[in-house]
Structure 1
Amino acid sequence: MKSKSTSELKASIHRVEEICKSNKLGLTEIRRQVFEIIVKNNKPIKAYEILDKISNINNKPSHPPTVYRAIDFLIENGFVHKLNSINSFVGCFHPKAHKECYFLICKKCNIYQECCDDSLKDRISKTAIHNNFVISNTTLEIEGHCLDCSQK
C-alpha cells in the first residue's frame, strides 16, 4: 500500500489520454483535472474534496453537477473506481487492462491497494451462474488494517 511514484502518475495520465484519443472519448479539461486530482491523491478522495480542489485550481467556484459528471465519465470508462464503503474515489493505474478488481482498505488511515485476480473473478462468476444469478456490478472491498496501523 505504497503511494505511487511521479512516473507512475504521469504514465497513468498519459494512458488515459491515449485511450480517450484512440476511442474518440472527449477528455475535457474538467475531466482531466478531476482525474489528475484523484490519481495524485494518495488516499481515496470524496467528491466534495475534489470540488474544492477544482475550485482552487481554476480560481473560481465549481458546481457539484460538473464534478459529478466528470467522475461518472471516468468511472464509466474504467479510469476511476468508486469505493462504496467509504463513499470515495480512487484512480485506476492500469485502465482497460482488467475488468474486475478488488480493494484492500485500511479502516484506520484509509490507505488502499487495488488488486486484480482473474481467478477470484472467475470463482464469483461461477458461483453466480450456479445460483442462477446475473451479476450487474462487482465491487469487492476488503477492510482491515495496513501494516503500519496494525503495529500501532
Structure 2
Amino acid sequence: MAAHHHHHHDEPTGESLIEAAAAALTHAGEQWTGMRAEVFEALVARDRPASAYDVAEDVSKARGKRVAANSVYRILDLFVATNLARRVESANAYIANPHPGCRHDCIFLICDACGRAVHIDDDKLTGALVEAAKNAGFADIRPVVELRGVCADCSSGLSG
C-alpha cells in the first residue's frame, strides 16, 4: 500500500466535510436525502463515537419527532459501505470519516477513560496485515485495528 495524502475537512462548522460527504455518496450512485444529511450532521457534531441510538436521539430532537434507531442503522451501514463513516467495532459505534473520498484501512486508538477515538493511518502496518491475510488465503481484506489505552489528556490527569 502506498502512502497517501488526505485533505481534511476541518472548518469549524463542518460544512466542508458535509459537502464532501454528499459528493462522495452521490458519486457512489446513492442519493443524499434530507434524512441522510441529518444523520451525517448528527454524527459530525459528536466528538466521540456514537451509537445508532445516540444519533437517532439527536436527529429526533432536531426534527421534533421520533426517528427509529433501525432507520439510522441502515443509513450508518450505507455510510460505512460508501466510506462516509467508520464503525468502531468494540464500541458498536460510528464516527464520521474525515476524508470520505479516500478508501484506506482503519486504525483506531480508543481511550478507555473518556471514550475518544482517534483515527490514524499507517499503511506499512496495515499492509503487513493484508499481506499476512492474503498468505492465509483470504481475499477482499479490510483491516480494522483497534488499540485501547488512555489518551494523553486523560493520562495527564492521572499523573497529577
Same topology, TM > 0.5: yes
Q: Distance in 2 between matches of 1:5 and 1:72?
A: 25
Offset of residue 137 of structure 1: 3.9
Q: Superposed, which structure 2 residues align to 1:5-44 within 5 Å? A: 5-6=11-12, 9-44=14-49
Question: 1:97 aligned to 2:102?
Answer: yes
CA RMSD, 1 decimal: 1.7
Q: Is the 8 A contact 1:98 1:116 kept in 2?
A: no
SS in 1 for 2:24: helix
Unmatched 5+ residue regions in structure 1? Answer: none
The alignment of Structure 1 onto Structure 2 pairs a total of residues equal to: 148
Please say which of residues 94-103 and 129-138 is displaced more in the overlay. 129-138
- Name the stretch that deviates more: 17-26 or 98-107: 17-26
Please show how residues 1-152 of structure 1 align to structure 2 within 5 Å. 5-6=11-12, 9-134=14-139, 136-151=141-156, 152=158
Partner Cα distance (1:85, 1:65) in 2? 19
Aligned-residue sequence identity (percent) comes to: 25
C-alpha separation between the residues in 2 aligned to 1:13 and 1:146?
27
Structure 2 residue identity aligned to 1:48: Y
Deviations 1:4-26 (A, max 9, x none): 6515x222111011223334321
Structure 1 position 138, deviation (Å): 2.2
Unaligned runs of 5+ in 2: 1-9
Q: 1:84: how far off? A: 1.1
- Superposition TM-score, scaled by structure 1 size: 0.88
Cα distance in structure 2, aligned partners of 1:106 and 1:20: 30
